[in-house]
Structure 1
């Protein structure tokens, strides 16, 4: 296909009035879109993005998975690069995981090559020699992570002022994955510091497939420029409105897709179903723990299913081999955690299978979007629930999805530990910084602005920061706590738990939890890793390594829990709706229908459409709030402060219930409840282990670290909503 001369001439003209947006792209970019890619037209998102990005606006681009978001961002920015004669490193492309960067590098480098420019990759797995070459001759587009940017800013081997002085724009892929946790605050702080180095605002473009509050996400991404810079949400393929209420009835017909919910009862049975169905197809199976991935992978291989694995504790080489082999194969299965949720290309998928259920609709939409990309196919997902609780959770999730509801992306509250990290990182970056000038480094962005003075005062008093002649610099306590490996501890906002690296001969397999190597056992010590069983032959505790050899079976997999925050109120209330006989708008197998009937029979007295239920049986009582974990923690803290004899002091609430004290009376309970209704909900008390596990907590007063975690456990509005509802007391004789 050859571009018509008239079309190419039009591409030289600036965009105006009702002109086709395509004509505003640089003519070389336009030429290659038509002649190199062979595209006859741009997608709606790609058309709609051209004008705002060429005019320098910030933007959040929303489209389903595989909706062309990368091109929607790259084509206008590369056009601006060429038209504006940007030189040096001018565009950053940030991703939450290294695997996604690896996957995108060749694609983006191809597009930059059209205009004689270059893209390159920088993260922890890139060889030191390649990184040194990039410093000598920077690429025009750098693909990296926020953690790698922080490492560059604090490194004495990187002239960050020279490297980033030409920076003009940043693309944040899977922006919702950053915004919903502390990495988002870290990212925003780094972008403000980069803007100071460049001496100009940096255009910010976020890419996402699934958000319930896109305007708020855009405002968040703009950082200090939210009130002064133009910005837009571009979403021609999606309804860009904020999320609906989780109690809305929703559309009468379900969203498009072939979704089926089955109940199988165990991982072994899930393997049996997967090995029996969809033969000849390429299947991607999502599990929500590494342990499940390993168990299912071993069970599938035992049934002679061609199986590949991918999760974060497998070595990079092991993951790459699995993903490359899966991309090229047919009639096979890859079993993965959410590492393959974020858009990594694993070839042309036929089917997605979900073991149990993710905790958010947004996550499900990402996974569903991996299918249905070929003409004539539809998006599909088969849920295989391995327990009744998982079945109820899956049904509740699909009920929310059927209503068209998606969670809002909400940044974590009070990131004061990251304020401490940023103050220390800025001292490292600058060498010294004025004791009155430091707030300007973040351009007034809260909470990194002057409101951080009490944290700085603590850092000075505790020796993390020293001062001389009005200049601040790194102190001995910062060296002691974070100085290992050239302050690499300061470059990431998350904590990586200690793990042992496993070797089979010279080949690295991945990492395991140290508990597997220290637990008492009289049997040979066997591990399950990369979908195979291994027997431990030697443990090198000083270097955290262990050596293994293959065995037929008997391996165990284990990793830390990661501190799950439990289920949301929206999802838990949807689960209650399922118990109240609402079915999700999907296909239910006979096994699922039967299991749901059993669940409803078991929980039928524990639900009320109007409110909550107290179940008092055999001297034990539970308050079935169906409020979600954070709401129940807040309710528990609120009632405990008012009455110490109402709640079980040893019990932690679940997503669905709060344990009352044995033998608590109806009158005592209602007196405490009435007092709670008249009071302000109280913050939960965090566990001391959680405080110690908060990254950078060593650089905060203990009471501040406690406050950070308490605010993140609290759900005051949800607790108040539950307290306003009527309560039905269910006695033994009822």
Structure 2
């Protein structure tokens, strides 16, 4: 290499002679100095941009220079599959210096875990949930095990920061910092984000003190001064009308190439997979309800094959290596620009190739969503990653977990464990009082410890349920013989069907032979077709304000800077014509249809419309019917009454009222006073700035037809 970038000479030797690299990538070179100096950092690069090496080469060099001992580095990932994928690569790098790497997650067996505890690795690959399991386990002496900890690498940090797993991650890291008695160097790895400085500040947490922090992103155009014109990439947008037609297009295009197809639901993955196999295409599947072995077999076979397709949900969006791809195909549209960038980054890795993505949409609405997303992408806009507000339920979970970890904690000193992390600064006493009053905690002599209600609700399988911050829907495990195929929604096993019951799983049809209701198991045999797939989608939160506004711009004539097929152009023209009366460039439209129903077309997104419906209860339908684009109003509303009742609306915006179903989906909400659980969820389903922007626009009244 032209320069060693300050790395350990042994690491440099192996980079040149073992890996055969002539030089480091720009990100790897730029990251070396701040990481060697012990700075916190956020490393930004597209998928396959060398972020892992950019973090680990200088950390390994520090490990050697400062003679770190014991388990000194944690490498955290959001997915077990990603950890499994990284393990051999990090093992190879660590072996250059005679260091060891080990895995610890839910699929690691008991004997392997005992070996990890007996011969502590220098680098431990794990998830935040498994890390907390170690802290609370009676089989792990966490003070001794983590005594030498110096640095934490958080891969795909953006996948954590936008939801409650991020708060959980930060809280566990602060408890770990308190255990080891020193600040830990924190390094985040991410693809493009819209607010890198804020994301790095979030990752540092309160225990960083005065430690310096650096955003390292030499491979990315600055989010503040983007290059003129659209980002590079061969992007095509098509309208095909059905999943069956999408299968026909995929089967007929790009023969001989390796294609990765992303779908927005597990059901679509199964249906498309079955259709492609029916057309003779070598097809593999990956989604969260397939068994780990089934996913691993599919991903390995796909990585080793050439002329084939793998159909996946977002499980393959993150950095799992599935080999050298030729094409990415997107069915419908991803929910965010950031997600699209992750998927696009799967291609264009070989010299002389360009990143590419073919969008195949099956409905006019999804065509509009895809065009809107690509319009934002063309403007170099990426969503800012923001942590969900007011995570009081995570505070309750963490207090219970700390009691498990320590046995007893002081009823006045417990906040010190989180070093001033925002959610733990105020209001915690109310939560503790509720936990004590309802038996989740016992109090004695100024000390708190686990109570009978916590044992009852979370104590199964050594309190494993306490370490996961999301509630998954109940699913039945599907087995053929002793081989687990995956899991299905129980409604497929309970609904009335004529004849024998058939399921669609792994892209194949299966005949149900026996259901073990008590153990939630379903036994199947191969069938020749007719299987059905279904899963409840609990994670849908509607479109954002920015994406819905971009849809409005597309309807008003803005074209995304990509290639549109004739089918897409024709259908887009049809959508614009059909929706022309619902939109105008000077503001928003209230439309009275032929039935007399009155709808306010805000084009503001689900959360902003929820906020508007709650605030304007005087003018909205009592049922508060709204979606991403519109709000239903009272039928007797007149223009003059509208002006009177909404004149001061922007000064009295209020939070939506969550329903009981939404509250049940907030895990640990039962460990909060009801009013705090409601307040937490209300803050999360509101968009005050989007609602205010809509109210600032003029409104016109029109009649349809």
Q: Does the 8 A contact of 1:620 with 1:663 survive in 2?
A: no
Partner of 1:177: 159
Aligned equivalents of 2:645, 2:370: Cα separation in 1 = 34
Q: How does 1:335-346 map to 2 (within 5 A)?
A: 335-346=311-322
Change in CA separation of 1:23 and 1:574 when aligned onto 2, cut-off 3 Å = closer
Partner of 1:625: 602
Structure 2 residue corresponding to 1:433, chosen from 389, 406, 409: 409
Aligned equivalents of 2:75, 2:116: Cα separation in 1 = 15
Q: How does 1:493-504 map to 2 (within 5 A)?
A: 493-504=469-480
Q: How does 1:37-52 map to 2 (within 5 A)?
A: 37-52=19-34
Partner of 1:521: 497
3-state DSSP class of the match of 2:579? Answer: helix
Q: Give the deviation of 1:649 after TM superposition.
A: 2.3
Structure 2 residue corresponding to 1:706, chosen from 678, 686, 689: 678
Q: How does 1:229-628 map to 2 (within 5 A)?
A: 229-241=211-223, 253-449=229-425, 451-618=427-594, 619-628=596-605
Q: Does the 8 A contact of 1:220 with 1:226 survive in 2?
A: no
* Deviations, residues 10-53 of structure 1 (Å, cap 9, x unaligned): xxxxxxxxxx4x24111111111111111110001000111110
Partner of 1:247: none
Aligned equivalents of 1:126, 1:453: Cα separation in 2 = 38
Partner of 2:655: 683
Q: Give the deviation of 1:652 after TM superposition.
A: 2.9
Q: Give the deviation of 1:259 after TM superposition.
A: 0.3
TM-score (normalizing by structure 2)? 0.98
3-state DSSP class of the match of 2:205? Answer: helix
Q: Give the deviation of 1:314 after TM superposition.
A: 0.2
Q: Does 1:211 align with 2:181?
A: no
Q: Give the deviation of 1:227 after TM superposition.
A: 5.2
Partner of 2:630: 657
TM-score (normalizing by structure 1)? 0.94
Aligned equivalents of 1:419, 1:396: Cα separation in 2 = 37
3-state DSSP class of the match of 1:565? Answer: coil
Q: Does 1:670 align with 2:664?
A: no
3-state DSSP class of the match of 1:495? Answer: coil
Q: Does the 8 A contact of 2:221 with 2:227 survive in 1?
A: no
Structure 2 residue corresponding to 1:647, chosen from 616, 620, 623: 620
Q: Give the deviation of 1:445 after TM superposition.
A: 1.2
Specify every segment of 5 or more residues in structure 2 that has no aligned partner in the other structure, as ranges. none
Moved >4 Å (runs of 4+): none
Aligned equivalents of 1:636, 1:370: Cα separation in 2 = 41
Change in CA separation of 1:107 and 1:712 when aligned onto 2, cut-off 3 Å = same
Aligned equivalents of 1:697, 1:450: Cα separation in 2 = 18
Partner of 2:39: 57
- RMSD over equivalenced CA pairs, Å: 1.3
More deviation, 496-505/308-317 = 496-505
**Count of equivalent residues:** 704
Aligned equivalents of 1:732, 1:218: Cα separation in 2 = 50
3-state DSSP class of the match of 2:663? Answer: helix
Partner of 1:121: 103
3-state DSSP class of the match of 2:138? Answer: coil
Structure 2 residue corresponding to 1:723, chosen from 684, 687, 695: 695
Partner of 1:13: none
Aligned equivalents of 1:580, 1:326: Cα separation in 2 = 42
Q: Give the deviation of 1:431 after TM superposition.
A: 0.6
Aligned equivalents of 1:447, 1:256: Cα separation in 2 = 41
Q: Give the deviation of 1:731 after TM superposition.
A: 1.8
Q: Give the deviation of 1:690 after TM superposition.
A: 1.1
Aligned equivalents of 1:337, 1:623: Cα separation in 2 = 34
Q: Give the deviation of 1:651 after TM superposition.
A: 4.7
3-state DSSP class of the match of 1:486? Answer: helix
Aligned equivalents of 1:546, 1:462: Cα separation in 2 = 37
Partner of 2:666: 694
3-state DSSP class of the match of 1:239? Answer: coil
Q: Give the deviation of 1:251 after TM superposition.
A: 6.4
Partner of 1:135: 117
Aligned equivalents of 2:474, 2:104: Cα separation in 1 = 24
Q: Does the 8 A contact of 1:439 with 1:450 survive in 2?
A: no
Partner of 2:58: 76
3-state DSSP class of the match of 1:233? Answer: strand
Aligned equivalents of 1:303, 1:174: Cα separation in 2 = 36
More deviation, 459-468/51-60 = 459-468
Q: Does 1:636 align with 2:613?
A: yes
Change in CA separation of 1:709 and 1:538 when aligned onto 2, cut-off 3 Å = same
Q: Does 1:223 align with 2:186?
A: no
Structure 1 residue corresponding to 2:90, chosen from 88, 96, 108: 108
Change in CA separation of 1:364 and 1:23 when aligned onto 2, cut-off 3 Å = closer
More deviation, 591-600/562-571 = 562-571
Q: Does the 8 A contact of 2:174 with 2:207 survive in 1?
A: no
